[in-house]
């Protein structure tokens, strides 16, 4: 890929990636506040200003490297703080706070699908307006579906792990929570062995196909 191609890809993916990870984290904090914990709000994290959420590695370095390598593009932001002791029903509410992030990614994927559809309708009349919307919409759908599917894996500290902990009996939930310090190593091992790609591939393709069919987008 030449330098112009690289810059074009960065321009297309920057806004979708920033919105995907920022709104994901804000959704966690917003639901936590609604359920009794104002920690994220008090720390100024309930904002769509991406500067408040950027993690130099997860928000910039990892997505950029993956983009250049041509693989799945995903990333992460600084997690919003949640104090489970402030929640009305800690076990149940932590699961609700956790699922809010992937749910926000699904809503954003649908929003980007609308933008892509709009771009397709505009493109025959104005390429310079329509095509950027198509490419950015396509990127927005992809990054949000990847984040949704990845975060729903039942591995702590991913959101799916927290949801599972909220559904399990307390003793099993405590055992699952003890896995959390090793969660990142587990994910790295799954990624290195190719197992993570095999796990994410089928649900990713299924959700992508459903969204494209729902909005009449080319698959």
- 42 is a domain residue: yes
| Residue 25 contacts residue 80 (beta carbons within 8 Å) | yes
Q: Which two tokens stand for residue 43?
A: 């720390």
| Residue 78 contacts residue 50 (beta carbons within 8 Å) | no
Q: Is 174 a catalytic residue?
A: no
Q: Which two tokens stand for residue 204?
A: 């990713």
Q: Which of 25, 174, 180, 209 is catalytic?
A: 25
Q: What is the number of structural domains in the chain?
A: 1
- 219 is a domain residue: no
- 105 is a domain residue: yes
- 160 is a domain residue: yes
- 174 is a domain residue: yes
pLDDT tens string, the chain, 219 residues long: the values are 567 777 788 788 889 988 998 999 999 999 999 999 999 999 999 999 888 888 887 777 777 777 777 666 666 788 899 998 999 999 999 999 999 999 999 999 999 999 999 999 999 999 889 999 999 999 999 999 999 999 999 988 899 999 999 899 988 988 888 888 887 788 778 877 888 888 999 999 999 999 999 999 997
Helix ranges restricted to H, 70-126: 90-122
Question: For the residues of 141-179, what is the DSSP string, one character each?
Answer: HHHHHHHHHHHTSS-TTSHHHHHHHHHS-HHHHHHHHTT
| Residue 181 belongs to domain spanning | 3-214
- 170 is a domain residue: yes
- Non-local (6+) Cβ contacts of 112 within 8 A are 16, 136, 137, 138, 139, 140, 141, 144
- 182 is a domain residue: yes
Q: Whole-angstrom Cα distance, residue 38 to residue 40? A: 6
- 19 is a domain residue: yes
Q: Residues in the chain, how many?
A: 219
């Amino acid at each position: 890929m030449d330098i112009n191609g690289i810059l074009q890809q960065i321009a297309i993916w920057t806004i979708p990636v920033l919105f995907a990870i920022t709104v994901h984290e804000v959704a966690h904090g917003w639901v936590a506040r609604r359920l009794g914990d104002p920690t994220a709000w008090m720390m100024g994290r309930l904002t769509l200003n991406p500067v408040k959420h950027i993690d130099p590695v997860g928000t910039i370095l990892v997505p950029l490297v993956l983009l250049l390598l041509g693989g799945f593009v995903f990333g992460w932001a600084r997690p919003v703080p949640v104090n489970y002791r402030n929640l009305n029903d800690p076990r149940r509410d932590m699961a609700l706070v956790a699922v809010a992030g992937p749910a926000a990614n699904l809503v954003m994927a649908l929003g980007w699908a609308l933008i892509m559809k709009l771009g397709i309708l505009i493109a025959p009349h104005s390429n310079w307006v329509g095509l950027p919307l198509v490419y950015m919409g396509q990127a927005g759908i992809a990054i949000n579906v990847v984040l949704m599917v990845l975060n729903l894996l039942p591995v702590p500290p991913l959101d799916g792990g927290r949801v599972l902990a909220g559904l399990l009996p307390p003793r099993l939930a405590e055992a699952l929570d003890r896995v959390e310090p090793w969660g990142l190593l587990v994910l790295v091992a799954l990624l290195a062995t190719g197992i993570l790609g095999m796990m994410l591939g089928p649900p990713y393709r299924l959700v992508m196909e459903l969204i494209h069919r729902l909005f009449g987008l080319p698959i």
